[in-house]
Chain A
Amino acid sequence: MENISFRTTVLPLSDRLFRLALRITMNRAEAEDVVQDTLLKVWEQRNEWEQIDSLEAFALTICRNRALDVKKRAGRNNTSLDKIDSVQPSIFNLQSSIEEREQLSLVRKFMDELPEVQRSIMLLRDIEGKTYQEIAQTLDISETQVKVYLHRARTKIKERIWTINT
């Protein structure tokens, strides 16, 4: 395996871990704490780095578990997209920047209201550009499950976007 060091291999994962933690905790300060804990945990395991297939998948898994713990402790429960009231459809003038921003945040709202596993999978696929295999490894589920969750998430988003524009 290539020469692995904390500075050159582990630390560059920080932002990626932060985005995942942020998608789960929905809080920047908590997400930063999660990343710090994750990196320290990875550092403690440094004697085993050579035996780990993907240090990134390893770190992402730790990060997700830590973030879920933090969220659980905080007692927050994100409302599932299925349970929320349907957003009032409105006519958008897409040429207006203000309304465009509103719609932008509305789309973010839809994404944030997805169940955690769907949200995490969507982030890993769409934003971090991970393959189904890498996502399955990180979340410790099968590739088929990854595709099923992702399909559900995208379908919900598509339906929501369709609803607000008709």
Chain B
Amino acid sequence: MDYKYIEQLLERYWECQTTLEEEAILRNFFRQEDVPASLLPYRQFFLEEDEMASERLSKDFQDKMLRLVGEEAPTHICKARRLTFMRRVRPFYRAAGLVAILLTIGNAAHQSFTDDAEDIKAAQMAEGIVADSLQQITIGSPEQQSAELTAQPVDTISTLPR
């Protein structure tokens, strides 16, 4: 591997000619285990600076400071949750699902109502036909009877009881 770039950066670092970004590249380079022997002596320096950067105050210091300035420390900790894209759009999926269910139910109800109406209409038509037929039958019989009666003259005298 060619470490020319790192060596050049390092030289510029000692001369204070590097930018903050270039210094970050150097720091990241020296954090890795696999550093060539020629650069190894400088690794300790950058690791030491990393260790210095991790120095922190005690945990209760901030609570103490808040009490000193008259602000109460928060009684509950609100943790920020990292939401994935899928979790963010989940409410929309739910709403879409609900709408789909409602539409399905609505369509089914509408369909069954329409079918019922058609059935009623068909039944009414059938009933009408049957009623007409019955009426024709009922009306047709006396006529036939009267026709028969007129076709066969009744001998009233002979039919009268003697």
A residues sitting closer than 8 Å to B (CB atoms) are 6-7, 11, 14-15, 18-19, 22-23, 32, 35-36, 39-40, 43, 94, 100, 103-104, 106-108, 111, 123, 125-127, 129, 131, 147, 150-151, 154-155, 157-158, 161-162, 164-165
Contact = CB atoms under 8 A, between A and B. Distances in A.
Given A40-B68, A154-B14, 5 more contacts: A11-B65, A104-B48, A107-B45, A129-B24, A164-B41
B48 to A, nearest CB: 5
Contacts of A158: 14, 42
Nearest to B53: A127
B143 interface: no
B100 to A, nearest CB: 44
Interface in B51-98: 51-53, 55-58, 61-62, 64-66, 68-69, 71
A126 to B, nearest CB: 5
20 contacts: A14-B57, A14-B62, A15-B56, A18-B57, A19-B52, A36-B64, A36-B65, A40-B68, A40-B69, A43-B69, A104-B51, A106-B44, A111-B48, A125-B23, A127-B49, A154-B14, A157-B45, A158-B14, A158-B42, A161-B41
B16 interface: yes
Contacts of B49: 126-127
B71 A162 contact: no
Interface residues of B, number: 30
Q: What DSSP secondary structure best describes chain A's contact surface?
A: helix
Given A22-B55, A103-B44, A129 B62 contact: no
